[in-house]
């Protein structure tokens, strides 16, 4: 329709209406999406910065699952240590009962009870794993904190808390020697050493738990900071956009009226020519 000639007044009003329509579409899009930047065309710098911040936020959010697993793994091991410590106290009580009697039959009965509790220590250690990782049976876990693989990690290394001399507790299963007074004294020493090992391992786990908990809280807050920053770059002020929409609707109505008036002026000229 380039061959149609329009008067300057009509063309001016038409361009104004077209600009208003464009702004109306933009404002309606912002209100519909809640964003002032919906694509790189709107604002390349803000758009790509927002995308980068959101991606980093998503990557760190994924790390929270690994941190949570690490926390629960440590807690499971700590519960196991407390349970095993209680069983060792029972073992000490059994040995004290054996030391308090010279009756061979009674000591043999106590020996059997001792070994039964020893088996419970092994069973408890076996049951102290979490999601396939058991720190009380030599398991290990590497917890990743940063978004980039390999950076900022914490290694959790377990130990053997099973019953028997092959474990780190080094408590011997008792045989005929349980009836010997000197042997009973040695057993007490083994049990006391095992308690020291458990206390040291418990402190180590507590330190790791403190680190994991601190990193979990930091990551949650940092994810929130990144997400808020990303949103601030692209989020629209709905109150402002609503006001813009009202103003543009009014402007559009005025533009239509102005175009109508300009058209009437052209028609008046035709009447004069007639």
Residues 144 and 261 in one domain: no
- Bridge partner list, 155: 142
Q: In this structure, is residue 222 part of a structural domain?
A: yes
Residues 149 and 215 in one domain: yes
More confident: 7 or 26: 26
Residues 154 and 99 in one domain: yes
Residues 201 and 99 in one domain: yes
Token pair of 135, please?
């720190």
More confident: 35 or 164: 164
Residues 240 and 181 in one domain: no
Residues 105 and 217 in one domain: yes
Q: In this structure, is residue 118 part of a structural domain?
A: yes
Q: What is the pLDDT of residues 94-147, one digit of tens each?
A: 999 999 988 888 988 999 999 999 999 999 999 999 999 999 999 999 999 988
Residues 92 and 132 in one domain: yes
Q: In this structure, is residue 104 part of a structural domain?
A: yes
Between 2-11, 61-70, 72-81, the lowest mean confidence (pLDDT) is in: 2-11
Residues 171 and 133 in one domain: yes
Residues 6 or more apart from 170 whose CB is under 8 A from it?
190, 193, 194
Q: What is the pLDDT of residues 56-65, one digit of tens each?
A: 999 999 999 9
Per the structure, how many domains does the chain have?
Answer: 2
- Bridge partner list, 127: none
Q: What is the pLDDT of residues 81-105, one digit of tens each?
A: 999 999 999 999 999 999 998 888 8
Residues 119 and 80 in one domain: yes
**Domain housing 25:** 8-34+236-273
Q: What is the pLDDT of residues 195-208, one digit of tens each?
A: 999 999 999 999 99
| Of 26, 190, 184, 162, residue with least CA distance to 108 | 184
Residues 16 and 60 in one domain: no
Q: In this structure, is residue 2 part of a structural domain?
A: no
50 pLDDT above the threshold of 80: yes
Residues 6 or more apart from 229 whose CB is under 8 A from it?
53
Residues 6 or more apart from 23 whose CB is under 8 A from it?
244, 248
C-alpha 212/C-alpha 199 separation (Å) is 20
């Amino acid at each position: 329709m380039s061959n149609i000639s329009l008067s300057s007044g009509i063309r001016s009003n038409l361009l104004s209406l077209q600009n208003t329509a464009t702004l109306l579409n933009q404002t309606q899009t912002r209100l519909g999406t809640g964003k002032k930047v919906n694509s790189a065309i709107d604002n390349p710098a803000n758009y790509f910065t927002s995308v980068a911040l959101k991606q980093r936020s998503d990557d760190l959010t994924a790390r929270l699952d690994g941190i949570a697993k690490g926390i629960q793994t440590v807690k499971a091991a700590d519960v196991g240590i407390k349970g095993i410590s209680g069983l060792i106290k029972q073992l000490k009580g059994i040995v004290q009962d054996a030391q308090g009697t010279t009756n061979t039959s009674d000591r043999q009965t106590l020996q059997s009870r001792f070994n039964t509790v020893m088996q419970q220590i092994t069973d408890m250690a076996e049951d102290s794993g979490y999601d396939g990782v058991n720190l009380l049976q030599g398991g290990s876990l590497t917890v990743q904190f940063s978004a980039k693989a390999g950076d900022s990690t914490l290694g959790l290394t377990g130990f053997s808390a099973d019953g028997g001399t092959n474990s780190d507790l080094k408590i011997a299963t008792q045989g005929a020697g349980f009836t010997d007074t000197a042997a009973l004294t040695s057993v007490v020493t083994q049990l006391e050493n095992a308690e020291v090992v458990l206390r040291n391992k418990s402190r180590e786990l507590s330190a790791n738990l403190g680190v994991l908990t601190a990193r979990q809280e930091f990551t949650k807050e940092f994810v929130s900071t990144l997400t808020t920053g990303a949103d601030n770059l692209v989020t629209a002020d709905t109150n402002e956009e609503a006001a813009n929409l009202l103003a543009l609707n009014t402007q559009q109505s005025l533009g239509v009226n102005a175009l109508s008036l300009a058209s009437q002026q052209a028609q008046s000229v035709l009447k004069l020519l007639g």
